[in-house]
Amino acid sequence: MRTPIMTPASQMSKKEPQRGEGEKVHSTAFARKLKLLILKWRYQRLRDKAWQVIFLMYLILMLSSSTSLHSALSLGSHATINIDTRPRCVQVEFNDGFPTPTTEEGKLENSRFGKIIPMSKHSGMISSQSDPGEETFRSFEEGSCKAMHDWQIQYYPDCNRIHEIDLNKRSTRLINNGGFRDVWSVSEPAYEDHQEPFVMKTLIYKKKVKFREIDRHRRDANTYAMLQSSIHIPDIYGSCSNTALFDLAPNGTMEDMIYDDKKVEMSKWTAEHRLQYSWQVAKAMTELHSVGNIHDSAAISHTDVSTDQFLWVNGMFKLNDFNRARFIRWNARKEEPCKFIVGKNPGKNRSPEEYKDHEPLNEKIDIYSMGNIFYSILMGEKVFEGINYMKKDKVYKEVQKGVVPIIPQAIIDGYGPLEKVVLEAMRMCHVYNPDDRSRASDVETFLKAKLEEHNVSEF
């Protein structure tokens, strides 16, 4: 039984102590350091006037950075420095899908991340006063396009679990990083009911803490939380803003196994393995597209499906990493799902519609990319890298025209019945028109039937 990580905001403690403005913070270290400097200056003043100049420059620098230096100059046993602090953020509300820090006193109108511009229901924006160049964001709900579910525009952080972890040098190790977050292995157990090492993901150092990143990782955490009951998705144990805790996958990803230079792992794959792993991929995708599915429409699209998103955990491949996911809205007036737009879609692993500028998209882009995974399972290479090699710019143009990665007929002729099943599943995915493309559940049903027909286990 998995421990739920989401706690309704209404149940959050109202007794959080506040740090008022002008709070005193004791600093004996600062006083001692300053006293030593003064003594040294007195000692040197008759022989070296340069020390006088240095000390005076130091005083000027400190005066410019602290309005309370005079209180430290008393050189008593406890020097005090006045710190201008704001009330702590104890809750995050989402106004039309974007985070608004709040305190016990109400909304934090000017936070360290910039001024919050109130959002209207249909055309609101969030911008950053501290970073004029920051991208602005349109409201999640626009016109007739509304959230399918409340969880698409809410967030229930579990910050206590994050802050209780002792991140010391002995137990914490950087093991990987992605486009948005660093991945740390934490070997020290965080909870009594979880004694195994786990993974902590934190925002990569070069990225600033912006609402764009906070909302990205809100979607990631909410998606994991909604999929807690699925064995095809790794567990999440807590999340707070850009940081979250997950299952550790010490054996790496499908990409590690397929594209390793020595290809030791993949050389052990039999035809049964290829069919098993293809079904596991399709099943995980089906689970994702089934969450919140109403009127036969998915509520979430992954938008970044590739072999490196499937972790090998407990003897099976599991789909992870939802920080690029898009929540799908519903048009009540037209009674159909609203499409979404993703600004940048780099790489060779995408659908034709993703390479078109500002093309409205739906969850079927995940299906096309899943077909590319099936290709890699069969061929042991990335699409358009080996026998179908093309440069990225050419891939963008050719895929838009309908070009798909081709498996030579000579190789197909050598396939047994199980490999041909995976080949057929790939073709179900590589359909140009997304409206004609199979759903994840269709592909999963097809592969599951073939597993049973050929007496192959799921795991």
Two tokens, residue 241: 């803003």
Of 386, 379, 420, 409, nearest to 269 by C-alpha is 379
CA angle 19, 21, 23 (to 5 degrees): 65
Rounded to an integer, what distance in angstroms lies between the CA atom of residue 410 and that of residue 421?
A: 17
Two tokens, residue 261: 């230079």
pTM: 0.72
**Per-residue pLDDT at 2:** 46
Residues 363 and 328 sit within 8 Å (Cβ to Cβ): yes
CA-only gyration radius of the chain, Å: 28
- Using the Cα atoms of residue 385, residue 388, residue 394 and residue 398 in order, give the sign of their dihedral: negative
| H helices, E strands: number in the chain | 13, 21
| H or E stretch at 62 | helix 49-65
**Per-residue pLDDT at 158:** 87
Rounded to an integer, what distance in angstroms lies between the CA atom of residue 271 and that of residue 168?
A: 45
Residue 137 exposure: Cα atoms within 13 Å on the Cβ side: 24
Q: Which amino acid is at 194?
A: H
| Residue bearing tokens 């991208």 | 135
Where are any strands of DSSP class E within 84-229? 91-95, 98-103, 106-107, 110-111, 114-115, 125-126, 137-138, 145-147, 172-177, 181-186, 198-203
CA angle 7, 10, 14 (to 5 degrees): 105
**Per-residue pLDDT at 47:** 55
**Per-residue pLDDT at 128:** 29
Residues paired with 76 in a beta bridge: none
Say which residues have a Cβ less than 8 Å from residue 63's Cβ, sequence separation at least 6: 69
Residues paired with 331 in a beta bridge: 145, 336
Residues 26 and 80 sit within 8 Å (Cβ to Cβ): yes
Of 278, 239, 243, nearest to 446 by C-alpha is 278
**Per-residue pLDDT at 235:** 92
Report helix, strand or coil for 137.
Answer: strand
The distance in angstroms from the start CA to the end CA of the chain is: 21
Rounded to an integer, what distance in angstroms lies between the CA atom of residue 325 and that of residue 292?
A: 14
Alpha helix ranges (H) inside 296-439: 364-379, 392-401, 409-413, 417-429
Rounded to an integer, what distance in angstroms lies between the CA atom of residue 198 and that of residue 55?
A: 49
DSSP string, 207-268: S---HHHHHHHHHHHHHHHHTTT-TTS--EEEEETTEEEEE--TT-BHHHHHH-SS-HHHHT
Where are any strands of DSSP class E within 305-379? 310-313, 316-319, 326-327, 329-331, 336-337
Of 152, 146, 144, 148, nearest to 334 by C-alpha is 144
Tell me the backbone φ, ψ of residue 96, rounded to 5 degrees. Answer: 60, 35
List the pLDDT tens digit at each of the 459 positions of the chain.
444 444 433 333 333 334 443 444 445 566 666 766 666 666 565 556 666 666 667 666 665 544 433 333 333 333 332 333 333 333 344 444 334 444 333 443 333 333 322 222 322 223 223 333 333 345 788 889 999 999 999 888 888 888 888 887 788 889 888 888 999 998 876 566 666 788 999 999 888 888 889 999 999 999 999 999 999 999 999 999 999 999 889 889 999 999 876 556 777 899 999 999 999 999 999 999 999 998 889 999 999 999 999 999 999 999 999 999 999 999 989 999 999 999 888 899 999 999 998 899 999 999 999 999 999 999 999 999 988 899 999 999 999 999 999 999 999 999 999 999 999 999 999 999 999 999 999 999 999 999 999 999 999
Residues 353 and 373 sit within 8 Å (Cβ to Cβ): no
Residues 211 and 126 sit within 8 Å (Cβ to Cβ): yes
Residues paired with 56 in a beta bridge: none
Structural domains of the chain, ranges and CATH numbers in brackets: 155-247 (3.30.200.20), 252-454 (1.10.510.10)
